[in-house]
Amino acid sequence: MKSMKTKDVPVMIMLLSGFICSTVCILNNYELFDMLRALIIVLVLFYIIGLVAKRVLNKFFSENINQSLEEQLNDEEMEGIKDLEEVDGVETKAERPQDSQENESDDNENE
Q: 89 or 92: which carries more pLDDT confidence? A: 89
- C-alpha neighbours within 13 Å on the C-beta side of residue 56: 8
Instruction: Say which residue, 61 or 28, is predicted with more confidence.
Output: 28
Q: d(Cα 35, Cα 25) in Å, to the nearest integer?
A: 6
73 or 109: which leads in pLDDT: 73
* pTM of the predicted model as reported, rounded to 2 decimal places: 0.56
Cβ count near 34 (within 10 Å): 11
pLDDT over threshold 70, residue 100: no
Choice between 80 and 2, residue whose per-residue pLDDT is larger: 80
Which is higher by pLDDT, 106 or 63? 63
Flag whether pLDDT at 10 surpasses 80. yes
Domain boundaries, the chain: 7-96
Distance CA 19, CA 76 (A): 50
Distance CA 55, CA 111 (A): 81
pLDDT in tens, 16-45: 999 999 999 999 999 999 999 999 999 999
Under the banding of pLDDT at 50, 70 and 90, the label for residue 72 is: confident
